[in-house]
């Protein structure tokens, strides 16, 4: 009987993946390096992380992640109307344009222009994949124990 490593907390997981939403490829490691993360410390979305437990190197799986276990449900309070004159002329006033703004404490926030009106611009501060069901195809490409330093910093070095 072999004692083959499986995905568990404290393991550095090297994973190849393709993410589809509504049948469309949104992100993939294909043609790039696989991603690396520490299992069990919240480096990836909860629904995907929980589905990986027990997988072995070379094993593949299709994982369906609900919005709640992915990027969350869409929050109606995350839509904010901002006076149009608060935007610099360099920003195109078009639906779908992504912006980085700062909150009152100088923290970066990401938003997308949802609607452009005569007086106001509606910004959507929801994650672009909020409210979406996510479909992952994953393959475990490697596993190793995380170092003490990696665990202390909660990311792979």
Domain ranges, residue 88: 76-124
**Percentage of the chain lying above the pLDDT 90 cut:** 88
User: What mean pLDDT is predicted for residues 28-49?
Assistant: 96
What is the band of 1 on the pLDDT scale with cuts at 50, 70, 90?
very low
Query: Alpha-carbon distance 9 to 5, whole Å?
Result: 12
What pLDDT shows up at residue 3?
Answer: 56
Q: Are residues 60 and 110 in the same domain?
A: no
Is residue 140 domain-shared with residue 66, that is, in the same domain? yes
**Token output for 142:** 């490697």
What is the C-alpha to C-alpha distance for residues 69 and 100, in angstroms, rounded to an integer?
25
Residues 30 and 43 grouped into a single domain: yes
Sign of CA dihedral 110, 115, 116, 121: negative
Same domain, 103 and 145: no
Q: Is residue 139's pLDDT more than 70? A: yes
Q: Choose among 48, 1, 25, 11: nearest CA to 150.
A: 11
**Tens digit of each residue's pLDDT (9 = 90 or more) over 93-114:** 999 999 998 888 988 899 999 9
Asked whether residue 139 falls in the same domain as residue 104, the answer is no
- C-alpha span between 7 and 38 (Å, rounded): 10
- The whole-angstrom separation of Cα 38 and Cα 5 is 14
What pLDDT is recorded for position 2? 46
On whether residue 1 sits in a domain, the answer given is no
Provide the pLDDT for residue 106. 87
- Give 4-37 pLDDT, tens digit per residue: 799 999 999 999 999 999 999 999 999 999 999 9
Q: How far apart are CA 12 and CA 35, in angstroms?
A: 10
Residue 101: per-residue pLDDT:
85
3 is a domain residue: no
Q: State whether 89 and 109 are in the same domain.
A: yes
Whole-model pTM above 0.85?
no
Q: Tell me how many domains the chain contains.
A: 2
Using the Cα atoms of residue 51, residue 67, residue 100 and residue 78 in order, give the sign of their dihedral. negative
SS3 string, 77-127, reads: HHEEEEEHHHCCCCCCCCCCCEEEEECCCCCEEEEEEEEECCCEEEEECCC
């Amino acid at each position: 009987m072999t004692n083959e490593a499986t995905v568990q907390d404290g393991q550095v997981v090297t994973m190849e993946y393709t993410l589809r939403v509504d049948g469309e490829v949104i992100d993939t490691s294909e043609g790039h390096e696989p991603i690396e993360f520490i299992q069990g410390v919240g480096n990836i979305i909860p629904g995907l992380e929980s589905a990986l437990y027990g997988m072995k190197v070379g094993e593949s799986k299709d994982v369906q992640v609900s919005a709640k276990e992915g990027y969350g449900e869409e929050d109606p309070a995350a839509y904010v109307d901002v006076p149009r004159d608060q935007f610099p002329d360099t920003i195109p006033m078009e639906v779908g344009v992504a912006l980085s703004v700062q909150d009152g404490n100088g923290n970066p926030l990401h938003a997308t222009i949802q609607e452009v009106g005569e007086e106001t611009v509606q910004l959507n501060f929801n994650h672009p994949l909020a409210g979406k069901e996510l479909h992952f195809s994953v393959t475990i490409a490697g596993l190793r124990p995380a170092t003490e330093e990696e665990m202390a910093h909660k990311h792979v070095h």
